[in-house]
Structure 1
Amino acid sequence: MSSEDNEYKGGTVAFCGGTDWQMIGRSAGGKKSDKDKQADEERAAKFPNLTSPHTLKALQTIRIRFVAAGSAACHCVIGDLEGKCYTWGRNEKGQLGQRDMQTRGTPTLVKDLAGIDVISGAGGRHHTAIVTACGESWTWGSNLQGQCGTGSLKSQPKSEELLLEPKKTKEVADCTDVACGAEFTMWLCDGRVFSAGLPQYGQLGHGTDHEYNAKDSSVKIMYQPQPTPEVIQGLTHTTIRKIACGHNHTLALDDKGAAFTWGNGGYGRLGHQVQQDEHKPRQISVFDRAPVDKNSTAACGSTSSFCSGIGGALYGWGKLKASGDNTMYPKPAPGIEGWTILSMACGSQTFATASQYQKETSIITWGQASNGELGYGDKGKKSSANPDKCPVLDNVPTRQVACGVGFSMFLVDPEHEAVKKLPDFEAPEDAPDESSNGAAEPAAKGKGKGRGGGATKKAAEGPASKKRKTEEKPASRGRGRPKK
């Protein structure tokens, strides 16, 4: 940790978005009876969408060091100044590390990490990873694709290996940060990057997607999981200082001003001007002329990538809006010009920054939201194609932002007057999950082990690169920017 980290006195969490963790990101679908509609209304009243940031009553006396989630995560991970780790949210695969599969709406201490000083973390779709002050990493949740990096894989065709309590990651030491894709994990260890999990799209960065046909008499494409973290050789010539993961791709920044991407190339999210998967790290040529610096931030959404350049200006590429052209290489992000990016995070299709203009710090959010996670309030916009301020946190000192599926978290100064005026939220008593009976769920059809475990071609994201052009929609342009 830096001297700045040692001097940090801790913050509190301002949270906005969905609180119905069992239903966030899921569609009930189908025609409903009046009784079903009434039940939905009662559920929505019990588990409201917080359209404006709230503080969390359970954390009133706790000073927070970091907040974390991930573009595919529907659960939250935070750590306090004492090194304790807390989790809450969806838990059907044990991703909360609480030795059960009970969804929790209240931040809950991960007791099995007692005595371990947790300094950072990240969440995948069904797994979680943390880093400790001594450079170790611990993981838990689904290990179906080896994404927990335990060195072994026990999933079978009709059963999924679930780690309901933290397990120490193998082959990882001197770790300083971690990032999670949907079904894979990246560890930053003394300037080197290690990866484990599902290799589809080449997202592990080792030069292959480990594709094979699981049947002799027909075609069943699978991808051989990698349960043991391995160093990405394509980055050993330089020192990496920042990593970020989307659902199926990774962005890495080094200490020489270069940026590298690999994995799924759909929508131009890799920034190489083509929709082509990259099986090993490839340097983004745009930053040869406009390099990143030591203070640059990095963030990835499901189909997008961002990083800040020299001076804090934000660049974005990929599918940046629900409609319109894809941005095939890094360009200055419209609507946020002139702001210095202090911290950034992406949900699946939403984006949040802590940004500074002169002496003013603002939370700026945008994207296709579904649960009020942009924080604009009950009378504000539900979604926004262009960056805009989160009004109740305007000019509030913010250390970090984190986003997941249907929610956003902001690590703010607890002594600021605006923060003291935020409403408190106390989650209702946790009800048993409707999706789990407390026993390990069978693996989904088509996600069986095959040869050592694997995922079908449709398991991670969708069509292969050669089909992606049909997913693009007609262009629709718009401009706007948050007022300074």
Structure 2
Amino acid sequence: MSEKRKADEDLEERDAKKQQLGDGGDEEKNEADAAKPLVQGPEHVGALVVCGQFNWDMVGKRDNKTSTPSVPHGRTLWAPHIFGPLKGVRVRVAASGSNAGHNVIVTEDGRCFTFGRNVKGQLGLGDEERRDIPTLVESLKDERVVGAACGRHHTLFLTDRGEVYSAGDNKCGQCGVGNTNPVLTATKVKHQGAPIVKVACGAEFSVILDCRGVVFTFGLPEYGQLGHNTDGKYFITSTKLGFNNETKPKRVLVFVEKGRDNHSTPVDEVEVRDVACGTNHTVAVDAKGRVFSWGFGGYGRLGHADTKDEMVPRRIKYFDTQTRGVKHVFAGSTYSMALTDNGNVFSWGMTKRTGEANMYPKPVQDLCGWDVRSIGCSVTSVMVAADESVIGWGCSPTYGELGLGDTKKSSANPTEVKTMDGLHVHAVEMGMAHTLMICRDDTEQDKANLADLPEYNI
């Protein structure tokens, strides 16, 4: 182990001990504080509406061959449907990811269910069998889950105590349990310190954010997406590369900005408020509205007007000269998006399989004037919850994730999903080829509008 790495780990350990010791006080006060939830989940709850590819053995596959026996499969939903298995159940969190063929559902009372592809045990159910119907995660039944994130074959679960659990493929250490063994049941991530308030997953790496605005990352460092100033490469033999994977959370210590001469200058007082991950890149925004990105730079997904990989978080200069504060960031497989305080949406990177990429942030003009609440990002498709509508776009091929129907399956430009008119969508989340939407169901009119949708049952 290098001296620098050992020093970094010693610093993190001392910081964690300080957080655990706190300011003292009597035991009764500490016990009372421990009983209080440290992390609040989303305030909204509603009915789950879905569309897209629900045949989990086929999601992201290049051919129709499958090694599983002939058992009931899901199907492609070209239009939005009420999700029958959870009809009547109020949902608080619906999580997936642009690389994921699996999902996490958290109900109003904090119970956690998973379903979808499970080839590496990413559902946290103790096996590797696909689930078409949401199944309770037994290892989390005593926890109140308030958030989740899905990678290609791994999952992170966030509890109201600020603790993180993980499950699934762990060959790169992306589960953060201190080793690279598979994790078939939800297991606590090896993190000590302030409570975690946000989790995010790339394809084979993970990011967690604590309540102080400190970012920790773990997993595959191949393109610098962990932000530790290295891609972790080393030679196993003269012709074979290996990677020094991070098997437990490590703090991201340095944030920089670069001038025209490519000289790096540290950025001080960075308190990150939101973070999102693409396949191999990460984007974050701090309390001052400054946006940073790092990792794989292909197709301009980092927003720095070039295609270079960034080993540490680099400030996106475009937002410096604009009188707009970014409040949320989002990421698809090969692109990034930002939502500003005044409701403007910006996009950069590659949102289609052919053609030119946006090398720096550009406003999505078709969304001007809309009250945007939530954005879901897939491989090349985007879904936006705004006002009493849902707006989607994505170039062919699509698999129903846009919910436009079986006649017009794709759209190069933002298009209203007509079947969702009048429905107030609290939150939208996208997987590799499907969409999950939490719709308001408070009033009789809300319920009547939802009743007009077809119902999907396995």
1:225 to 228, 245, 254: 245
Distance 2:423 2:406 in 1: 20
Query: Which one of 180, 189, 192 corresponds to residue 214 of structure 2?
Result: 192
Aligned to 2:164: 137
Partner residue, 1:451: none
Change in Cα spacing, 1:280 to 1:114, as seen in structure 2 (3 Å) is same
Where does the alignment leave 5 or more consecutive residues of structure 1 unmatched? 31-35, 37-42, 154-160, 428-484
Matched position secondary structure for 1:422: coil
SS at match of 1:112: helix
2:226 corresponds to which residue? 204
Distance across 1 between alignment mates of 2:134 and 2:330: 24
CA distance in 2, matches of 1:311, 1:239: 21
Residues 75 and 292 of structure 1: is their aligned pair in 2 closer, same or farther, counting only changes over 3 Å?
A: farther
- Structure 2 gap segments, 5+ residues each: 1-35, 256-267
Q: Which amino acid aligns with 2:287?
A: D
Equivalent residue letter for 2:91:
I
Q: Quick one: distance in 1 between partners of 2:105 and 2:366?
A: 30
Q: In structure 1, what is the Cα distance between the partners aligned to 2:449 and 2:316? A: 41
Equivalent-residue separation in structure 1 for 2:103 and 2:90 (angstroms)? 16
After TM superposition, list the pairs within 5 Å mapping 1:410-421 onto structure 2. Answer: 410-415=437-442, 416=446, 417-421=448-452
Q: Deviations over 1:255-281 (max 9, x none)?
A: 101000000000000000000000000
Q: Distance in 2 between matches of 1:6 and 1:94?
A: 25
1:376 matches 2:404: yes
- Looking at structure 1, the residues matched to 50 and 96 of structure 2 have their Cα atoms a distance apart, in angstroms, of 12
Q: Which amino acid aligns with 1:94?
A: G
CA distance in 2, matches of 1:143, 1:6: 27
CA distance in 1, matches of 2:123, 2:42: 29
Following superposition, the deviation at residue 46 of structure 1 comes to: 5.3
- CA separation of 1:337/1:56 partners in 2, compared to 1, >3 Å: closer, same or farther? same
If asked which structure has higher relative contact order (CA below 8 Å, sep 6+), I would say 1
Q: What do the CA deviations read for 1:137-180 (whole angstroms, capped 9, x no partner)? A: 00000111000011222xxxxxxx32110110112541011000
Deviation at 1:409, TM superposition (A): 0.6
Deviation at 1:7, TM superposition (A): 9.4
Could you tell me how far apart the structure 2 residues matched to 1:132 and 1:287 are?
A: 33
Which residue in the other structure is 2:236 paired with? 214
On the 8 A contact 1:291/1:309 being kept in 2, the answer is no
Structure 1 residues 149, 45: closer, same or farther in 2, change over 3 A?
A: closer
Work out the CA distance in 2 between the residues paired with 1:136 and 1:7.
Answer: 17
In the other structure, the counterpart of 1:64 is 91
The 5-angstrom pairing of residues 293-304 of structure 1 reads: 293=325, 296-304=327-335
Structure 1 position 6, deviation (Å): 8.0
Amino acid at match of 2:457: E
How many residues were matched structurally?
404
In structure 2, C-alpha distance between the alignment counterparts of 1:243 and 1:128, rounded to whole Å: 16
Following the alignment from structure 1 to structure 2, what is the Cα–Cα distance between the partners of residues 394 and 3?
37
1:19 deviates by 1.4
Structure 1 counterpart of 2:58 = 23
Q: SS where residue 233 of structure 1 aligns?
A: coil
Q: Which moved more, 1:5-14 or 1:406-415?
A: 5-14
By how many angstroms is 1:98 displaced?
0.9
- Are residues 1:255 and 2:287 paired? yes
State the match for 2:346 in structure 1.
Answer: 315
Q: Is 1:337 the equivalent of 2:368?
A: yes
Contact 1:250–1:261, Cα closer than 8 Å, also in 2: yes
Query: How far apart in 2 are the matches of 1:326 and 1:25?
Result: 22
Structure 1 residue 4, shift from structure 2 partner: 13
Against the structure 1 CA distance between its residues 2 and 399, is the aligned structure 2 distance closer, same or farther, given a 3 Å change threshold? farther
DSSP 3-state at the match of 1:151? coil
Question: Helix, strand or coil for the counterpart of 2:187?
Answer: strand
Distance change >3 Å, CA 9–CA 410, structure 1 → 2: closer
Q: Give the equivalent residue in structure 1 for 2:200.
A: 179
**In structure 1, what is the equivalent of residue 18 of structure 2?**
none
Question: Displacement, 1:44?
Answer: 12
Alignment of 1:74-473 (within 5 A): 74-153=101-180, 161-172=181-192, 173-190=194-211, 191-215=213-237, 218-235=238-255, 237-290=269-322, 293=325, 296-356=327-387, 361-368=388-395, 369-379=397-407, 381-415=408-442, 416=446, 417-427=448-458
- Contact conserved, 1:16 with 1:51, CA < 8 A, in 2? yes
